[in-house]
Amino acid sequence: MKIIVLAKQTFDTEAKLSLDNNGKIDGQGVKLIMNPYDEFAVEEGLRIKEKTNGEVTVISVDKEQDQDALRQAIAMGADEAVMVVPGDVELDEYATATILAKVISKMEYDIILGGFRAIDDGSCQVAGRVAESLNIPVVNMITEIKIENGKAQATRDIEGGSEVIEVKLPAVFTAQKGLNEPRYPSMKGIMKARKKPVKIIRLGELGLVEDQIAAKVKPVSYTLAEPRKAGQVIQDEPAKAVSQAVKLILEKVKVVV
């Protein structure tokens, strides 16, 4: 089974945010981690590979030097890593997905896995858009997947419960927490990841003209959130503290009807 995993790096949540001279989020010197949902996707890809004697290729659209997530995936056990380097063009989710779909359309694949959301500017759409562009079905937010006879049965979250969806392969699935516990890279894996070259693909090689990947979304401005101010902490004997707190809460918001 040929398995493709879409993975990207995100800001570490602990990272302090600032704006650059152009008023955009400043990525300089920020620690990056593999998007946690993509770790679930890599892990699931590896499990399917182990069961089906398959092959896992991890793909990212990012800056050439930002290869840590890809190398982490190799260290975990992925076979190939591909970095698509867009260069200077401004990408939005439409553009990113269109590029990914183009790269994948030139490959063999039975199953594509991604995260349901990137935790930084998380928009929950790139993987689904890739499915649409490739004209294959998507099942989002899965917590379980079984593959048999060219079909997959995936359990996905819905509000207040879950449902089981069956689709024919190839298809795209996005990982929700609960799908699995990602493994730690082995020593051997880490060594391999150091040596294994990442395949670099430049936009020009893909045969996409600029028009096809022109961003649809236009950011107008970025603002850093005002940190929430510490409020009033009540230190009193419990009964008194509670009645005072309830009074204060009800002065601020209406919750008891």
Ligand X SMILES: Nc1ncnc2c1ncn2[C@@H]1O[C@H](COP(=O)(O)O)[C@@H](O)[C@H]1O
176 binds ligand X (CB under 6 A): no
44 binds ligand X (CB under 6 A): no
Nearer to other proteins, 81 or 111 (CB): 111
Nearer to other proteins, 148 or 195 (CB): 148
71 binds ligand X (CB under 6 A): no
Residue 212 is encoded by which pair of tokens? 């096809």
The β-bridge relationship of strands 80-85 and 151-158 is unpaired
Cα 42 to Cα 77: distance, rounded to the nearest angstrom: 9
Question: Given the structure tokens 């699931």, which residue do they identify?
Answer: 44
Cα 238 to Cα 236: distance, rounded to the nearest angstrom: 6
Residue 201 is encoded by which pair of tokens? 């693909």
Name the segment binding other proteins (CB under 8 A); options: 50-58, 191-199, 202-210, 227-235: 227-235
Q: How many CB atoms lie within 10 A of CB 21?
A: 6
By a kind-dependent CB cut-off of 5 to 8 A, residue 234 interacts, out of ligand X, other proteins, none, with other proteins
| Terminal Cα distance for the chain, rounded | 57
Asked if omega into 185 is within 30° of 0 (cis), the reply is no
**Binding pattern for the stretch 127-166 against ligand X, x by CB under 6 A and - elsewhere:** x---------------------------------------
Q: Which of 15, 124, 198, 214 binds ligand X (CB under 6 A)?
A: 124
Asked if residues 177 and 60 have their Cβ atoms less than 8 Å apart, the reply is no
Name the segment binding ligand X (CB under 6 A); options: 1-9, 143-151, 210-218, 237-245: 1-9
Query: Under the rule (CB under 6 A), what is the footprint of ligand X?
Result: 6-8, 35, 37-38, 41, 59-62, 93, 96, 100, 114-115, 117-118, 122-127
